[in-house]
Amino acid sequence: METLTASFFVRIASSIRAGYSTNMTDPIALVDRFGRRHDSLRISITDRCNIRCFYCMPEHDAEFLPRSGVLTFEEIERLAGLLVGRCGVRDIRITGGEPLVRRDCVDLIRMLARIDGLEDLSMTTNGMLLQQHAADLRAAGLKRLNISLDTLDEATFAKITRRPGVDRVIDGIDAAIEAGFESIKLNALAIRGLSESELVGLVRFAVGKGVTLRFIEFMPLDSDRAWKSKDVLSGDACLKLLSEAFGNITPTGRENPSAPAETFTLPCDGREGTIGIIRSVTRPFCGNCNRLRLTADGGLRNCLFSQSETPLRDAMRSGCDDDKLIQKIQQCVGEKHAAHGIDSDDFRPPERAMHAIGG
Ligand code: SAM
Ligand code: SF4
């Protein structure tokens, strides 16, 4: 487990200087007890999905929020506007469930892209509906895309997602490349007994397309609650398999201190490829976490693994003004734990599974 280090004390001091200003013109720094400044927001816009990945959703009888319980675009815009305009959030990632199953999702992107001060707007998608939406999303102001792809093999895809369609995802990736996003990354889960045979082919595919591939260690966020630590294919194991296949793998650090992925370059088919490893389980990066999450029904979460949420939807619907909402947001940040604690004996996974939190 990463410890909170010297930079932590520096950040504490700077956060005390930044203060918890309520002045309308100064951004209110969302700094927690450990000096971590929160300037990155993930917004889940639906808990529904068009596939059923076993590491996220149940195969049958998934329970979804009633439509009236989901934040409207105007409610999302209000909260995003407050977090960016008054609280110093700089980047927003749209996620789900599958964000592209939400009707008129492109309109929401257009609304969010207009928020003054927002530096980055991105989306994580399974790619199934990307072919028809990629160009419109780009034109609406979406800058970057992460597309999930665990395998190139149709039978394995169907085993993982309980639905057919790997070709649709690949068509979606091509459409995204064609649409000219600032960055496209592919995300593959690293699951023992499943991913070993996929890693090398996925790297070749990504390098051939000129995009970055990242391997994410499987986390205990499946709704079946079947996760076991032995099911995680560790970042170390991924790197070992890749170096056996490609030879020299060179570490190149992180894009920024809060970035979850450690990046590497490797030689692949006469090109230099870039890969990322996200060791959320075996080498957590909680000490540099800068993220907040808003669920589709307006729960603000200070961690993927937190056991509680701050319900902002009902506050907004009962007439709460902006200052009061900001106080609630600050309180949520203030309650954040030092680390997710997956490796501790008393770890309990959160009540909601990944699709209902927003990954
Ligand atoms: N439906 C979209 C997708 O799959 O890209 C967006 C939502 S999904 C919850 C976001 C990311 O979470 C995906 O990259 C997915 O692979 C990842 N994910 C889902 N369940 C996970 C788990 N148990 N452990 C680690 N990552 C997970
Ligand atoms: Fe759907 Fe994404 Fe969850 Fe897979 S990981 S079931 S695509 S929300």
**216-250 pLDDT, tens per residue?**
999 999 999 999 999 999 999 999 999 999 999 99
pLDDT tens profile 58-109? 999 999 999 999 999 999 999 999 999 999 999 999 999 999 999 999 999 9
What percent of the chain is modeled with pLDDT above 70? 93
Alpha carbon of 227 to ligand 1 centroid (Å): 14
Q: Is the distance from the beta carbon of residue 212 to the nearest atom of ligand 1 less than 6 Å?
A: no
Is 194's pLDDT higher than 70?
A: yes
The DSSP secondary structure of 248-311, one letter per residue, reads --EEEE-SSTT-S-EEEEEEETTEEEEEEEE-TTTS--GGG--EEEE-TTSEEESSTT-S--EE
Report helix, strand or coil for 16: helix
Is 180's pLDDT higher than 50?
A: yes
Could you say which ligand is closest to the alpha carbon of residue 130? 1
Alpha carbon of 55 to ligand 1 centroid (Å): 8
Is 5's pLDDT higher than 70?
A: no
In this prediction the pTM is 0.93
Looking at residue 62, its pLDDT comes to: 94
Is 279's pLDDT higher than 50?
A: yes
Looking at residue 2, its pLDDT comes to: 37
Is 11's pLDDT higher than 80?
A: no
Mean pLDDT calculated for residue range 33-57: 97
Looking at residue 26, its pLDDT comes to: 57
Mean pLDDT calculated for residue range 326-349: 93
Alpha carbon of 179 to ligand 2 centroid (Å): 23
Q: What is the mean pLDDT of the chain?
A: 93
Could you say which ligand is closest to the alpha carbon of residue 55? 1
pLDDT tens profile 109-127? 999 999 999 999 999 999 9
Mean pLDDT calculated for residue range 195-212: 98
